[in-house]
Amino acid sequence: MRPLYFLPFLLWGFYAPAQYLQPAPPDKIYGDLFIDVQMQKIFPDGKTFVDCIPKRKPADILYDYGMQKGPKFDLKKFVEENFEIPQPVTANYKSDTSEDVVTHIKKLWTVLKRNPDKEIEGSSLLALPNAYIVPGGRFREVYYWDSYFTMLGLKESGEIKIIRSMVSNFAFLIDTYGHIPNGNRTYYLGRSQPPFFSCMVELLAGIQGDSIYQLYLPEMEKEYQFWMDGADKLKPGEAFRRVVRLKNGDLLNRYWDDALVPRQESWREDYLTTEKSGRNKVEMYKHLRAAAESGIDFSTRWFADNKSILSIETTDILPVDLNSLMYHMEWTLAKAKQINGDDAGAKLFREKAAQRSTLIKKYFWNNTLSFFTDYQFKTQTQLSLVSPAGLYPFCFINDNPDYFSLLGKKVSAVVEETLLKPGGFVTTRYESGQQWDAPNGWAPLEWMMIWGLDRCGQKNLATLAAKRWIQLNIRVYKHTGKLMEKYDVVDINKEAGGGEYAGQDGFAMTNGVLLKLISIYGMP
């Protein structure tokens, strides 16, 4: 009898519009070989095998696997003989800590740069036509939301050409697959990540002029359609993919993933977590994958009990950060259409943005906490977890600045009491063992909080947090020669931890935010 962990494999499937070709992910290509490698933990990190490149045709590898496997079969040896095993991005790079951190980062851009890809049969990599920057470590491909924060630093380094190349790559992904996947891998196609494409377009337009809005207007519209897919057919109280129509008819967005199986890069972890939960398998996989789309994987932010991943409920939550990003997308589409001479289209999207701004205040402003928090739409309750997501509205919403300035004063007090630590802002106040919880701080969230505080008039707190984060980053660099994916902001003498994999260095989004903050707040 086939073991139970094969059952999810039979459930493979995801929604995709017919016009977009979806190449097969590793579990579909390699079948039993894939599942055996992942479930037997041939590699400590489940991402290793899905990034392997076959040395010959996958069909021939599978034929030999079927013929050779048996009681004395050496699976690890077979994989090593038939696949090129990927190495960490910066495996051969040696830092010179006598250099200042700005010089170090400018040199690192060349290490983290990847030239246009070539398609390889059996590889999970989605080939991109232009050069791009990868995060570093185990992350050998471009990542969607990371890249915006990377671009902040690329701009400070004068690397405008690579910014343009990366924005063009994301436009290519939208045109080819209907959306920007989590990263340019086949196993990421079921989901996207926080939609920062309109922010990237805005950043590039700030450098090269308003024609950039016109150039990428078609792709921004397609991405908007992806996030709003099904909205026009929803009845009150219904949800479909990334849209939720509440019982009173109000419409907001959630995170989602179309696949029905464990994440291929974390297959064993998702399977075991689901088994331990005792919950419906597909429902659990949906919640786990949706958390991965949020970029916040994992955090007590998504846990019903604020403690355990076994209580994860991501698809039941309307996130304040996502809906703030959707506001920015609508506002940017209005601006792009106005520049393009489409007055009616501009008016439509201004109205959409205004309506979403109203709903953000209605559903996410928590009067009890004096903070923006997420909304659980199935129980119709505001959640009580304070996280950096609560600063996103201050970063983007353009109407009623006096009102938001007033809210900013209230939020500032909560932030200072709850999230501010010796090394910057902590992701949540809970210590769960998950990497997006205490005691960790992450560059993208540091930037969004600092930006939001500055924009609502809380400049002193923004400056204090920025300087603490800069000092921590430089301190770790001087001691280790590395810039890390995440940092322990509570005890600045400890290394950050938690999550499904070891700490990674490189690290593009950290580098980008650090350069941007240094340009504003200076060196310590």
For the chain, percent of residues with pLDDT exceeding 90: 90
Model confidence pLDDT, tens digit, residues 378-423 = 999 999 999 999 999 999 999 989 999 999 999 999 999 999 999 9
Model confidence pLDDT, tens digit, residues 274-325 = 999 999 999 999 999 999 999 999 999 999 999 999 999 999 999 999 999 9
Active site residue 297: yes
Q: Is the pLDDT of residue 206 over 70?
A: yes
Q: Is the pLDDT of residue 12 over 50?
A: no
Q: How much is the pLDDT for 6?
A: 39
Mean pLDDT computed over 372-380: 98
Cβ neighbours around 158 below 10 Å, total: 8
- Side chain identity at residue 346, one-letter code: A
Mean pLDDT computed over 182-193: 98
Mean pLDDT computed over 50-73: 97
Model confidence pLDDT, tens digit, residues 444-461 = 999 999 999 999 999 999
CA separation for the pair 456, 69 (Å, rounded): 63
Domain boundaries, the chain: 100-227, 400-524
Q: How much is the pLDDT for 8?
A: 38
**Confidence grade of residue 501 (pLDDT, cut at 50, 70, 90):** low
Q: 471: closest CA among 101, 55, 79, 33?
A: 101
Q: How many helices (H) and strands (E) does the chain have?
A: 20, 16
CA separation for the pair 180, 209 (Å, rounded): 24
Mean pLDDT computed over 472-498: 93
Q: Is the pLDDT of residue 16 over 70?
A: no
User: Contact, 181 vs 144, CB < 8 A?
Assistant: yes
User: Contact, 514 vs 520, CB < 8 A?
Assistant: no
**Cross-strand bridge partners of residue 113:** 133
Contacts of 188 (CB under 8 A, 6+ apart): 181, 182
503 to each of 9, 206, 316, 477, 506, how far by Cα in Å?
Answer: 30, 34, 30, 14, 10
Contacts of 135 (CB under 8 A, 6+ apart): 89, 112, 143, 146, 150, 485, 504, 506, 507, 508, 509
Which letter, b or e, does each residue of 489-523 get, where b requires 16 or more Cβ atoms within 10 Å of its Cβ?
bbebeeebebbbbebbbbbbbbbbbbbbbbeebee
DSSP secondary structure letter of residue 311: G
Q: How much is the pLDDT for 5?
A: 39
Model confidence pLDDT, tens digit, residues 66-105 = 999 999 999 999 999 999 999 988 767 788 889 999 999 9
User: What angle separates helix 160-177 from helix 197-208, to the nearest 10 degrees?
Assistant: 140
Model confidence pLDDT, tens digit, residues 110-131 = 999 999 999 999 999 999 999 9
- What is the number of alpha carbons within 13 Å of residue 262 lying toward its C-beta? 24
CA separation for the pair 442, 436 (Å, rounded): 8
- At 240, list the tokens: 């479909």
Structure-token match 């977009």, residue found: 20
- Side chain identity at residue 215, one-letter code: L
Q: How much is the pLDDT for 275?
A: 98
Q: How much is the pLDDT for 504?
A: 75
- At 238, list the tokens: 């219904």
Mean pLDDT computed over 364-390: 98
CA separation for the pair 505, 524 (Å, rounded): 22
Contacts of 275 (CB under 8 A, 6+ apart): none
The active-site residue, picked from 27, 258, 454, 485, is 485
The active-site residue, picked from 297, 316, 437, 446, is 297
**Confidence grade of residue 3 (pLDDT, cut at 50, 70, 90):** very low
Q: How much is the pLDDT for 7?
A: 40
Model confidence pLDDT, tens digit, residues 231-259 = 999 999 999 999 999 999 999 999 999 99
Contacts of 158 (CB under 8 A, 6+ apart): none
